[in-house]
């Protein structure tokens, strides 16, 4: 049974192998991200540790998604800015606010798990001061987009204070990392619940096998006890036969004695018959002596049988007690199994 029970420490996944998608409900993250972006007027998107998006963009501006990132040169510059922002947030383990190449302000918020970054929430696409349109016209020419459309899109970009953006990034950092921590705890709980459930099922099966074995042993012991009783009965019958032989030996001895007396009376003619009578008396004595020895052996056999019966009865009682104990343990395990199933269901509840 020890080889069958799952080792919980070996069964749990190491946190170094856990991905963002494993511990955070992406549907919930998407809803939160959308609400966050809409309420503050900032753009937002979540990515894994490799920079691959795990959510859809929220509140992305036309300035960025339609023009800057729509340009091959602009997209390359945006990716470089995101990379640097992500590196800075990963280095510090805190939100990083930075100016993008196109003149907007972005932020990178790391999602951490036990000191290791497993993803980021990127966002911003806002202004923190009145823009110099001449600068943006220059950027439009560099990335190959229409300057007038670019300026028109710029005028739609939300302007907020740097302090407000910093507060928004920190709030996002706190919420995202709380989700990460809680999600990882639930992830471990789910694994542990599964391991407990599997282990209890295995233990329950083993206990059922033990109970069945105990019943087999009890039945075999009862059969053995019956056979021993039969041996005891046979020993008793042997003693009865020995008593009968003893009686015959006594009668034979008496006949031999009478024959000897008659032979003596017959004188010379009864000498031969007297020898026969003496041999009969000797044979009777030997038979009686043999019967005595056989009775000693049967007595020993009976005593041994009695001891064996007593031990067998004690074994039967012990086996019955073990079977009863196993049934109680099995009942307790069934209760634990029920609780483990409820725990497993609770851990998987969303």
Phi then psi for residue 126, to 5 deg, are: -130, 170
What's residue 327's pLDDT? 73
User: Percent of the chain beyond pLDDT 90?
Assistant: 22
Is it the case that residue 346 has pLDDT exceeding 70? no
Pick the CATH number of 197-348 from 1.10.287.950, 3.40.462.10, 2.30.140.10, 1.10.12.10: 1.10.287.950
Is it the case that residue 165 has pLDDT exceeding 50? yes
Q: Could you give the residue range(s) of every CATH 3.30.450.20 domain in the chain?
A: 8-160
pTM passes above 0.75 = no
Q: Could you give the residue range(s) of every CATH 1.10.287.950 domain in the chain?
A: 197-348
pLDDT digits (tens, 9 = 90+) for 266-300: 666 555 656 655 666 666 666 666 667 676 767 77
Is it the case that residue 44 has pLDDT exceeding 80? yes
What's residue 349's pLDDT? 60
Is it the case that residue 90 has pLDDT exceeding 90? no
Q: What is the mean pLDDT of residues 14-39?
A: 88
Q: Identify the residue whose tokens are 């295995």.
A: 202
In Å, what is the CA distance from 41 to each residue of 44, 150, 178, 301?
10, 19, 23, 101
Least confident of 160-174, 248-262, 314-328: 248-262
pLDDT digits (tens, 9 = 90+) for 301-338: 777 667 766 766 666 676 677 667 677 777 767 776 77
Tokens coding 44: 């937002």
Looking at every residue in the chain, the average pLDDT score rounds to: 77
Burial class of residue 27 in the structure, from the number of CB atoms within 10 Å of its CB (0-12 exposed, 13-18 middle, 19+ buried):
exposed
Q: 178 and 29 in contact (C-beta within 8 Å)?
A: no
Q: How many residues does the chain have?
A: 350
Q: What is the mean pLDDT of residues 207-218?
A: 68
Is it the case that residue 24 has pLDDT exceeding 80? yes
Is it the case that residue 12 has pLDDT exceeding 60? no
What's residue 276's pLDDT? 59
CA separation for the pair 110, 108 (Å, rounded): 6
Least confident of 23-37, 166-180, 268-282: 268-282
- So what CATH class is 8-160? alpha beta
CA separation for the pair 34, 339 (Å, rounded): 38
Q: What is the mean pLDDT of residues 156-178?
A: 90
Q: What is the mean pLDDT of residues 219-229?
A: 68
4 falls in which pLDDT band (50, 70, 90)?
A: very low
DSSP letter for 66, please.
I
Tokens coding 254: 């008496």
Is it the case that residue 246 has pLDDT exceeding 90? no
More confident residue, 43 or 3: 43
CA 61 from centroid of its chain's CA atoms: 50
Is it the case that residue 260 has pLDDT exceeding 60? yes
């Amino acid at each position: 049974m020890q080889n069958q029970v799952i080792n919980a420490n070996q069964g749990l996944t190491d946190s170094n192998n856990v991905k963002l998608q494993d511990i955070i409900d992406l549907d919930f993250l998407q809803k939160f991200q959308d609400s966050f972006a809409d309420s503050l007027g900032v753009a937002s998107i979540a990515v894994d540790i490799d920079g691959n998006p795990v959510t859809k963009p929220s509140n992305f501006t036309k300035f960025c998604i339609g023009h800057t990132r729509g340009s091959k040169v602009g997209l390359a510059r945006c990716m470089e800015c995101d990379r640097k922002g992500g590196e800075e947030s990963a280095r510090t383990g805190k939100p990083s606010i930075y100016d993008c190449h196109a003149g907007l302000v972005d932020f990178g918020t790391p999602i951490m798990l036990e000191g290791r970054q497993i993803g980021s929430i990127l966002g911003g696409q806002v202004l923190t001061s009145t823009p110099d349109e001449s600068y943006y016209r220059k950027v439009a020419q560099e990335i190959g987009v229409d300057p007038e459309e670019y300026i028109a899109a710029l005028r739609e970009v939300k302007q907020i204070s740097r302090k407000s953006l910093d507060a928004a990034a920190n709030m996002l950092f706190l919420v995202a990392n709380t989700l990460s921590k809680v999600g990882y705890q639930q992830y471990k709980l789910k694994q542990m619940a599964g391991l407990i459930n599997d282990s209890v099922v295995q233990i329950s099966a083993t206990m059922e096998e033990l109970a069945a074995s105990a019943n087999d042993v009890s039945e075999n012991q009862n059969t053995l006890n019956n056979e021993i009783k039969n041996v005891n009965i046979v020993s008793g019958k042997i003693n009865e036969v020995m008593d009968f032989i003893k009686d015959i030996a006594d009668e034979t001895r008496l006949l031999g004695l009478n024959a000897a007396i008659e032979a003596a009376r017959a004188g010379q003619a009864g000498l031969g018959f007297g020898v026969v009578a003496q041999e009969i008396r000797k044979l009777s004595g030997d038979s009686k002596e043999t019967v005595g020895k056989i009775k000693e052996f049967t007595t020993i056999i009976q005593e041994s049988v009695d001891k064996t019966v007593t031990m067998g009865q004690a074994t039967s009682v012990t086996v019955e007690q073990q079977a009863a104990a196993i049934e109680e343990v099995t009942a307790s395990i069934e209760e634990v199994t029920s609780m483990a199933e409820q725990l497993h269901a609770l851990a998987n509840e969303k």
